[in-house]
Amino acid sequence: MVKTNIQNAYEEEIFFTLRQQRNNWAKVAVGSIGAALLSLGCLLAILPLKDTKPFVVMVDKTTGQAEKLVQVRPASLDQQDAVLQAELVSYVVDRETYDQADNSTRILDVMARSKDNAAETLAQLWTSNSPQYPPTIYGTGVRVRVTVKSISINPVSHRNAPDLARVRITKFREEKGRETAERGFGA
């Protein structure tokens, strides 16, 4: 009898406590998953409530009183013209500049940004047998800088037609031992 009591006690110790521990950890896991789902639900519920409204505020230095001047609003799509003009300035300056130090990288970048007729004329211009090949015309001691005077974008009159832009530029030819030559162009 003593042997069976010891054997039963041993079996209870090994098997039943393991089962009880497993059940306890299962309860903890289910509770943790429930808490995580509840937290996620609460987060999703309060997410639309967070609304940031920036204001321009004037603060009186002597009293510390703040007065709201204006509410800042998101930028309109009209500013897209400014971005387009900035891209055009970058493109025209890169295309028309001649600098022996960076021609190889700059012209490849301009070729990547060009398409259709612009890509064809640029490829023809930078072919070594072209009569207008810039290294033949300018040589190695000349640098041509470009500044854009103005850009005006003409809206298209019908769909799927490319936008046109008028660009006024000034080219500055710089060469050692000579005065800088300046000339204006329009395209």
Domain limits of the chain?
77-186
Position 76 confidence tier, pLDDT thresholds 50, 70, 90: low
> Is residue 92 within 8 Å of 167, Cβ to Cβ?
yes
| Interval 146-185: pLDDT, tens | 888 888 877 665 566 566 788 888 888 888 888 877 888 7
Distance CA 105, CA 124 (A): 17
pLDDT at residue 69, rounded to an integer? 76
pLDDT at residue 159, rounded to an integer? 61
Pairing of strands 98-99, 142-154: antiparallel
Q: Name beta bridge partners: 181.
A: 173
* Mean pLDDT within 121-142: 84
Give the CATH number of domain 77-186; options: 2.60.40.10, 3.40.50.300, 3.30.830.10, 3.10.450.230: 3.10.450.230
Tell me which of 36 and 109 has the higher pLDDT.
Answer: 36
| Interval 82-93: pLDDT, tens | 778 888 888 888
DSSP string of 135-182, one letter each residue:
HHHH-SSEEEEEEEEEEEEEPPSSTTPPPEEEEEEEEEEEETTSPPEE
What are the CB-based long-range contacts (under 8 Å, 24+) for 18-22?
A: none
| pTM, two decimal places | 0.55
